[in-house]
Structure 1
Amino acid sequence: MNMDFVKEHRHGWVQSSFALMLVLLLAGCGGNDPNKAIGESEAEAVAVPNAQLNAQSLAEAESQALQADASVPLESLPPGSIAPKVAYTSGAIARKAALVGTLAYRFYNASNGAHLYTISTTERDEWVGNSSFTLEGPAFSVAASSSPGLSPVHRFYNVRNGARFYTASETERANVAATLPHYRYEGVEYHASQVAGTGLVPLYRFYVPSKEFHFYTADEAEKAYIRANLSDVYSYEGIGYHVLSTQTTPEDPPEARVIKHPGVGLTLSDLQTLKANVDQGREPWKSGFNNLANRPNARITYAGRGGPFAKVSRAPDENLNAWRSDMAAISDQALMWYFTQNERYAKTAKWLLLRWATTHVEFSGRESMLDLGDYAAAFVGGAEILRSTYPGWTEADTATVKTYFKNVLIPAANPYGESMFGAANKGSLSLVALGLMAIYNDDAELLDKVVYQTRTLAHIGLRNSNDIGMLGDYLRDQGHAHGQLASLTMLAEALWSQGIDIYSDFDNRLLAAGEYWARVNEFVPTTALPFGTTDRYYTSDVTNRGWDGANRGSVALTQLYGAYVLRKGIQAPFIAQRRLGTSVGGTAFLFLKESDTSKATPPPPLPIPSATSITSGFSSADIGGPSQAGAATYAAGKWNVAGSGWGIWDALDSSHFAYKALTGNSTIIAKVESVENTHPSAMAGVMMRTSLESGAPRAWMAINSNGQALQNMTKLAVYGSSNYANKALTNGSSGPINWVKLERIGNIITGYISPDGTNWAATNVGRINAPVPDTIYVGLVTTSVTSKLNNSVFSNVQITGGDGGAPIVIPAAPAMLLASPGDGAVPLRWQASFGATSYTVHRSTFSGGPSETIASGVKGSSYTDTSVTNGTTYYYTVTATNATGTSGSSPVDSATPR
């Protein structure tokens, strides 16, 4: 038993390691109040249609369990026939449920102290990205779809306190919907059993009057402990219903990963469809093929560009153009072979590839990874076509190319060490090169690593973005912005070919990124939010909107259209609009499809640490011999940290540190409200360090007395070394950028800044070198750079393992809203608000006019309005809500569906 559980629950909130369940079931309850007890005894709490069970009838039913006919629907059993119904469920249905068991994931909501559950992986990943929610793992299993004998569990949302309400009683569902307007119906969440059975465990229900929500637990020891020790806080209400324990859910043995070939974006089925379209003269595929055939590298007479060479380098350039030309030709010649079946093309592609593979031994230069990313789809894609379709290709040829990739090209794609990637497009180019070569090499370990890095590294991958779809390079210039989008999309397409769906990550983030890029380059008025990378933090958009390079981004946009519109049925209005004005030049026609029914599975949840507010529990340390002892105090939602010290830049390490020792992945967030001006270099911020000894490896993000955002990493491995690790990010005059954050995942520490607590830009990334400690020290830091105390004030402090006791404040309005002109629909995306638990969407039919509410209780930061008429212009705003209140309105955006 976790004894912290006692203290936590006496404060009216829950964060234990047990299987707590926010499932509100009033089976057989006569009233319509979801807070009413359903009975003190377990037997009284169980109900089935047309029957009231008790302990005696349950006992009698158990003796008949094996006599039930599993083929008979439960509804067909005689009304009031208790024993057969229990027998049916305890036998056949329990086994059926076990076979279809789906994990229910438990989250803790720091904003209201409740727990909530979902079986939806999409919703799970959205909640993982919500700073108020903490993923606490799978708690039990249920049936995702209907089966005879199982009851649908209905979900409601309590708009007053943000808690979820679940019930398996049809009577109660109807009563709640009819008489409790603050409970909004959200549909069937899953299916469960209302009676006991083999393989099933009871879900015990408690009610917390002080917070007006319920939670459930399937843990017998926990149930007993709460009843014995916490009855003043938790009122026991009996059994809700029965679920499958995570311990009893059968698991299939793990299967070895089988990498599919061809599988770097074009499958064999894709190639066959393309060839049929070209052979039949269908447009635009026929014109696309003709353009391909007229390219110099695709001509049947192509004989190389002077290579191969033993050494190739970029920055400084050496033999680079010869390598580039031949890598492009490998793809073009292989494609021409497949489309024409003329073996001369296949022989040329094979000759080029094997000559480089047996001659080239060094790819060097500061920017080797950029060329490898730019050309990976070409040389790996061509190699895949030869390997999979050309009879003259041998296993020995495959082995030769694998060796070339492993020994020469893969090291050059990540030359600066583990997770040491350049910012934004540079890192994404490394990832796509590594991912595609891992597929060719059947290297599942490397491929899994690339997937992990793409989903976790916040300065280069999917997390190098915000809710409205801005990627890290989007405020640099539109060419590099396209490069980052194109690399991540090409990698996502290759992973889809392998059955891995990262398109769905972070609320379809690549769709948002493609829509934003297409929108601004179609000259749609769009106000950018501050954002950036480890290269630079940008506070305004002065880029070359309307960029028409790379055939207007046609390859990436075609892939995104296929991924979201064709496969997932999600509209992408600006992507579609930009594609209409784009020719079939380049290789976009290769990814153009009329339909796509292929499937892929999202990866498991990410290990991204969550944070909750903290009101007590910081320890204090004066590090590096400051002249005065510091202190940290909390009151009314704010921390005051007073510290002296001589500075914390680089080798200096003299400050006051209020900290917690945290094991494993962790994070801390704070808004720096004020920094006492004891010195121009006085500062306050957040810090992570491996020990409390002066000079220990450490990272901090801080605001100085001039309002500048600063960052520093000392004795950590950082791409670009001190030029990247230690710098000022803002000049203090471009608006308040005073939110700071640090995050540890494994051996990687990432520093962020933000104007609002949700629009986080990863500006510093470092690696803790071995030995990597399990526990590091995480907290608030101040330094005065004098002998005086610097009294600095922090608000909104959240940390992994916090107590959740801070007052909930009304969220700020969403900083940005974007509306898109769909067909009979208007997709909306907005930047999330810190501390919000839901959003309300408002709409008007004329600018500045009164609006109507069209959706409330919206989770996440997107919504599609389907109650529109094509040709009518609509004006939208969004407000953010939590248990304390509702924000003002977001900026207005309009769209005219068409």
Structure 2
Amino acid sequence: MKIKTNMQVAACGWLAGGLILASPVPAAHAAPAAFAHPGVLLSRADLDAVKADLDKEPWKSAYDKLKNDARSQKTYAMQGPWATVSRNPNVRLGEWQSDMQAVYNLARMWYFTGDNDYAQRAHDVLLAWATTQTAFGGAEAAFAIGDSRCATAADILRATWPGWTAGDTGAVQNYFNTVFWPVLAVPGPLFTGSQGMEQLTGALGVAIFNEDATKFDQVLAAFQTDANTGLRGTLPNGEVVDTGRDQGHTSLYVRLAAEMGQAFWNQGVDVFSLLDNRILAVGEYYARYHLPDSAPSYVPFGGMSWGVFNAIAGAPRSTTQARTALNLLHTAYAVRKGVDTHWVDLYATDQVEDTDSFMFRRRGDTSAATPPAPPSPPPVATLTGGLTSADLHGAAPAGATAYAAGAWTLTGGYNGQAPAGSKPTIRFAHRPVTGDFTMIAKVNAVSSAGSNDAQAGIMIRDVATGQSVSQSYIAMTTDHRYGWNERGATAMAYSWMAGAVNPAPQLPYWIKMERIGKRVQTSTSPDGASWSGANSNDFANMPATAYVGLFASSAVTGQASTATFSDVAITGGDGGGVTNAPPTPLSVVATPADGRVIVRWTEAHGATGYQVLRSTAGGGPYTEVAAVGNTTWTDTAAANGTRYHYVVTASNTAGTSGQSPEDSALPAPSWVNVAFGGTATASSTGDGAASLAFDGNPGSRWHAATTAVPQWLRYDFGAGVAQTIRRYGVTSSVDSPSRDPSAWQLQASQDGSDWVVLDSQSAQAFAFKYQTRYYDVANDTAYRHYRLYISGGANVQVAELGLYANTGGAN
């Protein structure tokens, strides 16, 4: 393996899992030569596959819901149109959303039924808006556009309905360009997290429908590199910007990331594969958190609008979940690529198929796409000298700058003007930098000088010592807040936010500044690799050659504050020797599969390699099992039925870090639910037939006709068919928990008369509706009949009874 230098790895960590670069410019042209239609979220192959399965469960039940929706009717009463719609404040927003949902529903109904009246109604509603609405206002207009299925619906009609005209295409393209695109603001700095993803999703729909290659490439570049959102808003372990904010926005982020991947894929661009399948890592982390007793470790992480979050926010399953995302991820990785989707699949069994999600459930997919070329980050190297120091604008007392043994020390005074001003009174140790650059530093300490507002950080200025017009910085304070400021940007802003480490912010902490073209953005990190965006903006007048460096300010006139920095690196640095071993990786996530374990971990600043250590006992002792150069490794020597515990260390020429937190996984066979195609019966049936417990849809259920027990639920594979069941799953229903079964036996029979007990359970409880609980069975015999013989519970109901084997088909 070719080993990069320490600081090259810090810069090129983009490909290894970190995201150092933040560029609005694509690495290369990636838009297709000819755009595919339909090809936003649904291709023609997608539509045909769903249409072929509408008579099968769970597609059938979800399709029935779609057919019965008031917005799916040929007689749908349009709520608009209006010239102006706004979100936050909301003006005619509900009417617009209802009509756009109707267009999407009606477009699908047209394709599934071939009934021209559905398409005509969808067309009339869409074109009425396209030729009437002239503005989309409000602070959150982009979110509404990104949440809608407007572009997807328009693309279905355009590509599949003979009544659609070239004039219709032109009218909708104009609508998208003049009303939608101005508020989507790509490639401008985006909103944070899921909000930015809504912008990107809406923008990608516009680019595809309008066949605009420039917009397509801008969206792709922003998705890969914008400091606020997209892939930049994720960590290698699967955390996203919103993970510490709340689970509603996290769910939205995961869904939109999957939808972005799908839309790009339909145009031949495979972003699913980027950063070692990062979008899957996001889905797996999210799904695992929402499953019982499996919460993954968390790294302090956040984004520009919200600051840094100290912990995962929100109880598992506290909000509506993302079945659409899980279906998209299963199709993208398991179906197309044969990649394990363990947690995604487990979580999907706990969720109802709805009128949106069933569109993305696929049993097969042979389509293909090509990964885009990655962006090239500005390289950085260690900085051990070459800075010019000055006390700006009368800062007193006189300051000092020194470098020794890998550390920079700055002493800075103050004279009434804060670093945010155009004439800051600071100690500034700087150098000229031309063009794009990255600068990184770890702030180790900031002495108070009698004020907790003393600051130390990284600053860029259009002038070295005079009064600035364009200026930006990122800094830490004595009391461990971080702050940023922009002066002369397209939108001037200033903010202070709490730091990131519980129970209170602590130093040392890492800061970073990047410039790409007109854009300057800053970030903070607990480890120099897990970067949270702090601010991002475009500067119209920042000169090509600007002055960049470290600064310190006491915030008290006549008093001095001393700050120490280490691990300082910059584009064009002198590349002095590596003096520090990498920090310890902060998180490891182990995911089980059949005969293997997938291990992911967060990056460590300056690492040239990582060592994976394993033990069969919690807490070790551990044995090194792999040395790798990225942040993902698959343990193919793991045996099913053995729990393995993993830690990771990071290394470079200066040494090896400590061991990361531990995570464990229990590899197991790939279980397949074989309960389909047979006959279901029950001891009694109320308002839910026995077959509904075998339809793959936890939203339906078998319901006994009486409160008495015992009751039984039986499955017959059919004459000449027998299956060796070694695992079964029982899914709770939506109704009262008092109706969940609490005690039962799993029984098997060859003839339906003589029954053998395979498993017995008592005192069982389900934590939430639609929860699936799994039970392994020591069984090596194939039986034709199986039944759940229920002895505990009242008025019992079962949403799903899964019968699992190691071979067979899947429903």
TM-score bracket for this pair, using the shorter chain length? 0.7 to 0.9
Q: Find the residue that maps to 2:6 and give its secondary structure.
A: coil
Cα gap change, 1:391/1:737 in structure 2, threshold over 3 Å: closer, same or farther?
farther
**Structure that is richer in helix per residue:** 1
Following superposition, the deviation at residue 573 of structure 1 comes to 1.3
Cα gap change, 1:753/1:255 in structure 2, threshold over 3 Å: closer, same or farther?
closer
Deviations 1:620-654 (A, max 9, x none): 23322323443422111111122223331345512
- Distance in structure 2 (CA, Å) of the matches to 1:261 and 1:469: 32
In the alignment, what sits opposite 1:285? 59
Cα gap change, 1:461/1:689 in structure 2, threshold over 3 Å: closer, same or farther?
farther
In the alignment, what sits opposite 1:833? 604
Cα gap change, 1:518/1:127 in structure 2, threshold over 3 Å: closer, same or farther?
closer
Residue pair 1:530, 1:537 contacting (<8 A) in 2 also: no
Q: Find the residue that maps to 2:91 and give its secondary structure.
A: coil
- Distance in structure 1 (CA, Å) of the matches to 2:9 and 2:358: 50
For 1:454, the aligned partner's letter is: F
Following superposition, the deviation at residue 488 of structure 1 comes to 2.4
Residue pair 2:498, 2:505 contacting (<8 A) in 1 also: no
Following superposition, the deviation at residue 472 of structure 1 comes to 0.9
In the alignment, what sits opposite 1:33? none
Deviations 1:498-538 (A, max 9, x none): 11122222222211111111111124233321111112223
- Distance in structure 2 (CA, Å) of the matches to 1:115 and 1:464: 18
Following superposition, the deviation at residue 398 of structure 1 comes to 0.7
Residue pair 1:650, 1:712 contacting (<8 A) in 2 also: no
5+ residue gaps in structure 2? 22-26, 669-811
Cα gap change, 1:806/1:639 in structure 2, threshold over 3 Å: closer, same or farther?
farther
Match of 2:436 among 655, 662, 665: 665
Following superposition, the deviation at residue 492 of structure 1 comes to 1.9
Cα gap change, 1:112/1:472 in structure 2, threshold over 3 Å: closer, same or farther?
closer
Following superposition, the deviation at residue 795 of structure 1 comes to 0.6
Residue pair 1:840, 1:853 contacting (<8 A) in 2 also: yes
In the alignment, what sits opposite 1:126? 15
Following superposition, the deviation at residue 609 of structure 1 comes to 2.2
In the alignment, what sits opposite 2:425? 654
In the alignment, what sits opposite 1:890? 660
Cα gap change, 1:113/1:820 in structure 2, threshold over 3 Å: closer, same or farther?
closer
For 1:390, the aligned partner's letter is: W
Instruction: Tell me how large the CA RMSD over aligned residues is.
Output: 2.6
Q: How does 1:671-690 map to 2 (within 5 A)?
A: 671-680=442-451, 681-690=453-462
Deviations 1:287-311 (A, max 9, x none): 3322221222112321223x11111
Match of 1:739 among 497, 510, 527: 510
In the alignment, what sits opposite 2:765? none
Answer 1 or 2: higher relative contact order, Cα 8 Å, separation at least 6. 2
Following superposition, the deviation at residue 130 of structure 1 comes to 7.6
Residue pair 2:433, 2:545 contacting (<8 A) in 1 also: yes
Q: Would you say how many aligned residue pairs link Structure 1 and Structure 2?
A: 655
Residue pair 1:530, 1:540 contacting (<8 A) in 2 also: yes
- 2:37 matched to 1:261? yes
For 2:630, the aligned partner's letter is: G
- 2:474 matched to 1:704? no
- Distance in structure 1 (CA, Å) of the matches to 2:96 and 2:206: 17
In the alignment, what sits opposite 2:120? 347
For 2:15, the aligned partner's letter is: E
In the alignment, what sits opposite 1:301? 75
Cα gap change, 1:256/1:705 in structure 2, threshold over 3 Å: closer, same or farther?
closer
Deviations 1:647-692 (A, max 9, x none): 3134551212112211221111111112222241221111122222
Cα gap change, 1:488/1:746 in structure 2, threshold over 3 Å: closer, same or farther?
farther
Deviations 1:451-487 (A, max 9, x none): 1111111112211122212111111100011112222
Deviations 1:521-564 (A, max 9, x none): 124233321111112223422522323644x2011121122222
Cα gap change, 1:568/1:736 in structure 2, threshold over 3 Å: closer, same or farther?
farther
Cα gap change, 1:536/1:758 in structure 2, threshold over 3 Å: closer, same or farther?
same
Q: How does 1:332-731 map to 2 (within 5 A)?
A: 332-375=105-148, 378-414=149-185, 419-523=188-292, 524-541=294-311, 543-547=313-317, 549-550=319-320, 552-646=321-415, 647-651=418-422, 653-680=424-451, 681-692=453-464, 693-718=466-491, 722=493, 725-730=494-499
Residue pair 2:597, 2:634 contacting (<8 A) in 1 also: yes
- Distance in structure 2 (CA, Å) of the matches to 1:891 and 1:461: 27
Match of 1:330 among 97, 103, 109: 103
Following superposition, the deviation at residue 254 of structure 1 comes to 11
For 2:596, the aligned partner's letter is: A
Q: How does 1:741-890 map to 2 (within 5 A)?
A: 741-769=512-540, 771-785=541-555, 786-856=557-627, 858-890=628-660
Following superposition, the deviation at residue 731 of structure 1 comes to 8.5
Residue pair 2:601, 2:632 contacting (<8 A) in 1 also: yes
Q: How does 1:234-249 map to 2 (within 5 A)?
A: none
For 1:780, the aligned partner's letter is: L
For 1:775, the aligned partner's letter is: T
Deviations 1:583-632 (A, max 9, x none): 22131121111222322222222132232211111122332232344342
Q: How does 1:82-101 map to 2 (within 5 A)?
A: none
In the alignment, what sits opposite 1:41? none
Residue pair 2:524, 2:532 contacting (<8 A) in 1 also: yes
Q: Find the residue that maps to 1:674 and give its secondary structure.
A: strand
- Distance in structure 2 (CA, Å) of the matches to 1:505 and 1:835: 21
Residue pair 2:18, 2:529 contacting (<8 A) in 1 also: no
Residue pair 1:110, 1:613 contacting (<8 A) in 2 also: no
Following superposition, the deviation at residue 867 of structure 1 comes to 1.4
Following superposition, the deviation at residue 735 of structure 1 comes to 3.7
Following superposition, the deviation at residue 256 of structure 1 comes to 7.5
Residue pair 2:613, 2:624 contacting (<8 A) in 1 also: yes
Residue pair 1:334, 1:345 contacting (<8 A) in 2 also: yes
> Which has the higher mean CA deviation after the structures are superposed, 678-687 or 341-350?
678-687
Q: Find the residue that maps to 2:624 and give its secondary structure.
A: strand
- Distance in structure 1 (CA, Å) of the matches to 2:388 and 2:367: 54
Following superposition, the deviation at residue 726 of structure 1 comes to 2.2
- Distance in structure 1 (CA, Å) of the matches to 2:508 and 2:389: 27
Residue pair 1:468, 1:829 contacting (<8 A) in 2 also: yes
Residue pair 1:421, 1:427 contacting (<8 A) in 2 also: yes
**Identity in percent:** 36
Q: How does 1:132-281 map to 2 (within 5 A)?
A: 257-278=33-54, 281=55
Residue pair 1:690, 1:697 contacting (<8 A) in 2 also: yes
In the alignment, what sits opposite 1:97? none
- Distance in structure 2 (CA, Å) of the matches to 1:113 and 1:665: 16
Q: Find the residue that maps to 2:163 and give its secondary structure.
A: coil
- Aligned structure 1 segments of 4 or more residues deviating by more than 6 angstroms: 112-116, 253-256
Q: Find the residue that maps to 1:821 and give its secondary structure.
A: strand
For 1:331, the aligned partner's letter is: Y
For 1:726, the aligned partner's letter is: S
- Distance in structure 2 (CA, Å) of the matches to 1:812 and 1:462: 23
- Distance in structure 2 (CA, Å) of the matches to 1:348 and 1:825: 52
- Distance in structure 2 (CA, Å) of the matches to 1:548 and 1:295: 26
- Distance in structure 1 (CA, Å) of the matches to 2:596 and 2:61: 33
Following superposition, the deviation at residue 496 of structure 1 comes to 1.1
Deviations 1:302-348 (A, max 9, x none): 1223x111111111111111110010010100000000001110111
